[in-house]
Each structure stands twice: as structure tokens, then as C-alpha cells.
Amino acid sequence: MGEWNRSTKVFALESLPQSITSEIQNHLNSYNLGSITNDYIECIETLSEKKKKGLFSGGGDKELKLFVILTPTWLIWVTSADKSGIAVLSAQLKDLDIKDYKDTPPFKLIQDTGIQISGIITGQVGMHGNQSVSSFLGLGEETAGRQFKEKLMQAYQTSRKK
């Protein structure tokens, strides 16, 4: 598999660390998104730990936490890394193309587990033009990761029908 060990668990939105909650609120306020998390379907946390490769494993983040909040119409994700800090992104499901990462061309080069999303992402290039932005969200292979992927795909399909 890829260069990360990943573990995903379901996480109550109300139990998010205060630093994450504050960053999410700042994001929602910055883009006037209102209270889109009120009717969330599920919230997960994926812990990704970089596998050591030889004597020199390189710089960069060694540990990354990904928090993902799925609502009927929005996807919000927060990365919190040991070196690169916290970043919050969001997108309306109807504005995305969502695929299981194993069904994408990059999987042939780097085997990993998760989802690949592309489309109009709040605050990114695709928001005000026709350019699409892509993002990979790593998920663990255990039940929580698989079930979240299923719920996300269901919500995504429902959003496309509206």
C-alpha cells in the first residue's frame, strides 16, 4: 500500500477538538456558509502516520489527522498535520466528482485507500471559474472507512438527482 498507515473511526461532531471546531467556524463565517453542519450525516477522523522508509525518511509531515463532516448537501474536511498546520475546505456535493481512489489512474502508481474528489471547492481556484480542483481524502480500510465511503457515495448520488 501507500506510504501512510491509516486508521478511520466515526467521531461525534460535538467531540471535535476546540482548535478544529474554531477553524471550521472561521471557514463557515469567511464564506457565509451558515449552519451547514447542523444536519450532518456523519463525522469521521482518519489518523495517517507516515511509514518509515530506510534511514532517511525525508521531511514533511509524519502524522496527519483528517476530519470529514458529511451533510446531505455539503462535504467539509479539515486536515491537521504536525508540521503544516490546520486547513479547512468544503464543497457542495452537487459540484463534485467523487470516486473511490482505487478506481482512479493514480492508484496504479501509488496504492492507497480513500476517495478522490474534484470540482468546485470553497476558497479554491475552481470556485470562480471553470477549472476543477482535486483533493485526495485518505481513509482507513476498516469498517468505519468503508461505511463512510458508502454513505458519502449515497449522499453524492442523491445530490446529483436534484
The reported pLDDT for the residue numbered 57 is 53
Calculate mean pLDDT across residues 147-162. Answer: 91
The reported pLDDT for the residue numbered 61 is 65
Indicate the fold that domain 4-161 takes in CATH: PH-domain like (2.30.29)
CA distances from 125 to 6, 20, 72, 120, 145 (A): 29, 24, 24, 8, 28
Q: Structural domain boundaries of the chain?
A: 4-161
pLDDT band at 8 (very low <50, low <70, confident <90, very high): very high
pTM (predicted TM-score) = 0.87
3-state SS, residue 35: coil
- CB burial readout 53-80, b (16+ within 10 A) else e: eeeeeeeebbebbbbbbbbeebbbbbbb
- Output the average pLDDT for the chain: 87
pLDDT in tens, 63-110: 889 999 999 999 999 999 877 789 999 999 999 999 999 998 888 888
Cell numbers 502516520: residue:
49
